[in-house]
Amino acid sequence: MKKEDIKRHLHTYSVYGKRCTTINHAFASAIAPSDDYDEKKINEALEFLGQNPYEDLKCVFCNDEAETWDHLVGLVKNGELRRFGHQIGNLVSCCKKCMNLSYHSRFLNSPK
Ligand SMILES: [Zn+2]
């Protein structure tokens, strides 16, 4: 997966025609803040995470090949909207296996 794939995630999501989700999550996704695509910021964020922005990206948790992007801080907790959204500093490249793990399990499995 290349860094440009993040463009699909840097915008608010429509509540229509998306994957099956809860209405609360769909609503939070629709109003969460988002960033524009900014190559310089993305390169800086990827380098901070130890990634080469000009190569295929790795999962930040297990170092396997990245397949998607996930929010580092979830959009909603305990029914409250958080300040973080579809933003460069809150999206990390990851594999689908790690995306489906709990927040704590991801860090327990991450490379030392
Ligand atoms: Zn992974």
Closest Cα to residue 64, out of 96, 42, 89, 30? 96
Whole-model pTM: value is: 0.76
pLDDT 10s digit of each residue in the chain, 112 long? 999 988 888 877 665 655 566 777 777 788 888 888 999 999 999 999 999 999 999 999 999 999 999 988 888 777 777 888 888 989 999 999 998 887 667 766 665 5
Whole-number Å distance, alpha carbon 88 to ligand 1 midpoint, is 19
Whole-number Å distance, alpha carbon 63 to ligand 1 midpoint, is 6
Residues with CB under 5 A from ligand 1 (ion): 59, 61-62, 64, 95, 98
Work out whether strand 91-94 and strand 80-81 pair parallel, antiparallel, or are unpaired.
unpaired
Cβ proximity of 66 and 92 under 8 Å: no
Exposure string over 83-99, b if 16+ CB within 10 A, otherwise e:
ebbbbbebbbbbbeebb
Whole-number Å distance, alpha carbon 62 to ligand 1 midpoint, is 4
The residue type found at 34 is S
Q: Provide the residue ranges of all domains of the chain, joining segments of one domain with +.
A: 3-109
